[in-house]
Amino acid sequence: MIRELKTFVAVSQFGTFSAAGQRIGLTQSAVSAQMRTLEEALGMRLFDRSGRAVALNADGTRVLPMAEEILTLFARMAQPENLAEYRGSIKIGAIASVQTGLLPGVLVSVHQQAPALETKLIPGVSSSLLTQVDAGNIDLAVIIKPSFALTKDLYAETVQREPFVLIAPADVAGDDVVELIRQHPFIRYDRSSFGGRMVSQFLREQRLDPQLALEIDEIDAIVKMVEMQLGVALVPLAGLWTDRPANVRILPLGELTFYRELIVVMRHANRQAPLHKFFVGTLINHAISKQEPSDKG
C-alpha cells in the first residue's frame, strides 16, 4: 500500500492523475487504478472527480497528512542509525548568498559525517524555493523569512538574523547613511525579492527616493558594483563578500538597523525525519560558529 500512498500524495500535489503520473513515471490509467485500490482499502472516496481535474474531498483532506506521516515513517525505517551508512539523496534549495556563504561549510560537514549521501543543490529566489518545498519537489530550503505566514503544511526553523548595512565606494566620505543614499546613485536590491521588499520598506520609512543606478537580486554582484563606484547600496551582512577583503566602506545603520531572517523550511511531515534533523542541526551549528566573525558592523 506504500506505492498507493505515494501516488495519492502526488495526485494531491499536481491536481490530475495525468500530471501525477508524469511526475512519478506511471500512466494515467495506472494512477487511476492505484487510487481505486486505495479507496477500496480505506472504504471511502478520497476525491471529487470532475472531468480531468480531481480535488480532495473532505475525507481525502483528512487522510492526506496521515498518508504523509506514514511515508515519512517508512522512509525512516530504511535509514540506518549510523550517519556514515546513510544512502540516498537530499535536494536542498538555497538562495544565492547562502550558496556562497553558509552552505559550503555545511556541506563539507554533512559529507564528512555521511559520505554516501548525495546532495543536490537547487538555486533560486526565496519565493520560488518556498513553492518548490510546498509542492514536494525539494526536501528543504534555506530562504529569507517571508512577511506572510507559512501554510500549515510547512515547518520552519530560524537559522540566523542578518543586519542590513549601507556599503559605499571606499573613497566616498560621510557617515550619515540617509544623506549618502540621497546624494549618490543607488544600487537596489531587487524589490520583488523578500530581502528587496525590506529595503523598499526602509526607503519609504525614511522618505527616500534615491536615483536608481541598477536593480539586481544578487548580493555579491551588488557589492562588486559598489566597488566599481557605480553607487551605494543597502545589503545584508551576508554572503561571499563578507569572507574576502571588499574595497567598500561598510556603514552600520545604528538605530535604523533592520534585519533579514534566514529560515530553513520543509514540509511539516518531515520535521522529525532523521536526515532533515541532521541537516538542520548542522546548518544551525555552522551559522552559530560563523556569527561572531561575521559580526563586522
Model confidence pLDDT, tens digit, residues 77-105 = 665 565 666 667 889 999 988 998 889 99
- The verdict on pTM exceeding 0.95 is no
Alpha carbon distance 216, 18 (integer Å): 38
Q: Identify the pLDDT of residue 82.
A: 59
Residue 153's pLDDT band, with cuts at 50, 70 and 90, is: confident
Domains of the chain: 1-78 (1.10.10.10), 83-152+271-291 (3.40.190.10), 161-260 (3.40.190.10)
Per the structure block, which three cell numbers stand in for 145?
A: 523569512
Residue 294's pLDDT band, with cuts at 50, 70 and 90, is: very low
**Res. 296: pLDDT tops 50:** no
Q: Identify the pLDDT of residue 143.
A: 95
- How far, CA to CA in Å, does 79 sit from each of 2, 114, 117, 266, 274? 16, 12, 11, 19, 8
**Res. 76: pLDDT tops 80:** no
| Radius of gyration in angstroms for the set of CA atoms belonging to the chain, rounded to a whole number | 23
Per the structure block, which three cell numbers stand in for 185?
A: 546613485
